Amino acid sequence: NAGVTQTPKFQVLKTGQSMTLQCAQDMNHEYMSWYRQDPGMGLRLIHYSVGAGITDQGEVPNGYNVSRSTTEDFPLRLLSAAPSQTSVYFCASSLGAGVDSPLHFGNGTRLTVT
């Protein structure tokens, strides 16, 4: 059982470049989300989805786009990378319907923007 799979693990971009961070889960979870982790700031919610075709903004959505065409996949797109987007990105999923369902995290993508 793979759980939550993120690719790539590492990425270096130049300012202005665009890219997509991939996230897939095989647990049939309704809820998926993207967080970024920066030193001293914990994890901050970027975007989330409560099911296929439904997405919404989190705390820090600017500069990022998401879509959810299937239950399994929730890619995060950086439109025009900036140095401020250097961070570790985590994708998470949960059952969604049950309030006692924890978030299951992927292994993260470490992104550096130069």
Partner 1 sequence: ELKVEQNPLFLSMQEGKNYTIYCNYSTTSDRLYWYRQDPGKSLESLFVLLSNGAVKQEGRLMASLDTKARLSTLHITAAVHDLSATYFCAVGRGGYQKVTFGTGTKLQVIP
Site residues for partner 1 per CB under 8 A: 31, 33, 35, 40-45, 48, 50, 56, 58-59, 90, 94, 96, 99-108
Nearest approach in angstroms of CB 50 to partner 1 is 5
Among residues 17 and 104, whose Cβ is nearest to partner 1? 104
Among residues 18 and 56, whose Cβ is nearest to partner 1? 56
| Backbone angles phi and psi of 60, in degrees to 5 | -130, 65
**Nearest in space to 23 (alpha carbons), one of 86, 83, 66, 85:** 66
Nearest approach in angstroms of CB 106 to partner 1 is 6
d(CA 18, CA 4) in angstroms, rounded, equals 23
Among residues 1 and 40, whose Cβ is nearest to partner 1? 40
| Backbone angles phi and psi of 18, in degrees to 5 | -115, 155
Contact 104, 93 (CB under 8 A): yes
Alpha-carbon separation of residue 6 from 11, 25, 33 (angstroms):
12, 9, 12
Among residues 18 and 57, whose Cβ is nearest to partner 1? 57
Nearest approach in angstroms of CB 102 to partner 1 is 4
Nearest approach in angstroms of CB 15 to partner 1 is 26
